Amino acid sequence: MHAAPTLSDENYSYHGDTRWQTNMTAAEQTAASEGRPVIVYFWTTWCTYCEDYNQKVYSDPTVQSELEDFVKVAVNMDDDGESASRLQREYNVNYPPQHVIITPEGEVLVRINGYAGTEDFLSYLEAGKQRYATGESQ
């Protein structure tokens, strides 16, 4: 079976060459203080498309550069913790991979359901930044 190998420590998980926070509260606080939107990545270790993100999308230098404009949070959907379950319910996420771009207050700006190739992913990121800048939510 194809799996998405992911390194992690107490505060971060690493997908491809990208470091994602694992504490949503801390991420929201950082986003609010820095005036940046949050991108929440919902993933699992058994998700083949998550591995495609690791190998094909997150490894792209342009994607890495664009992701710097966001506070990044990764939520392991296999984690039975209350925080992961609450976030899945709050953002109506029930399969991986999914990304939700939100304001620091949690308002949804953009949803990326399923896998998006590099060019499409970059378009979603740009739409999220534009909606954040103009105060437009979904």
- pLDDT value at position 1? 39
pLDDT band (50, 70, 90) for residue 5: very low
**1 in a domain, yes or no?**
no
What CA–CA distance (Å, rounded) separates 20 from 28? Answer: 13
pLDDT band (50, 70, 90) for residue 67: very high
Q: Which long-range contacts (CB under 8 A, 24 or more apart) does 53-58 make?
A: 53/4, 53/15, 53/16, 53/97, 53/115, 54/4, 54/5, 54/6, 54/15, 54/16, 55/16, 56/117, 56/118, 57/16, 57/116, 57/117, 57/118, 57/121, 58/15, 58/16, 58/17, 58/18
- pLDDT tops 80 at residue 57: yes
Going by their DSSP bridges, the two strands 38-43 and 108-113 should be labelled as unpaired
- pLDDT tops 60 at residue 9: no
Per-residue model confidence as pLDDT tens digits over 12-22: 666 767 789 99
Q: Could you list the residue range(s) of the whole structural domain that residue 43 is in?
A: 7-133
**2 in a domain, yes or no?**
no
What CA–CA distance (Å, rounded) separates 92 from 100? Answer: 10
**22 in a domain, yes or no?**
yes
Per-residue model confidence as pLDDT tens digits over 73-98: 999 998 868 889 999 999 999 999 99
Taking a C-beta distance cutoff of 8 angstroms, is the pair 1, 44 a contact?
no
Taking alpha carbons only, the member of 90, 101, 74, 63 closest to residue 9 is: 74
Instruction: Give the number of domains in the chain.
Output: 1
Taking alpha carbons only, the member of 39, 30, 113 closest to residue 73 is: 39
Residue 76's CATH number? 3.40.30.10
**75 in a domain, yes or no?**
yes
What pTM value is reported for the model? Answer: 0.89
The backbone torsions φ and ψ at residue 127, rounded to the nearest 5 degrees and listed phi first, read -60, -40
- pLDDT value at position 3? 44
- pLDDT tops 70 at residue 2: no
- pLDDT tops 80 at residue 104: yes
Per-residue model confidence as pLDDT tens digits over 40-53: 999 998 999 999 99
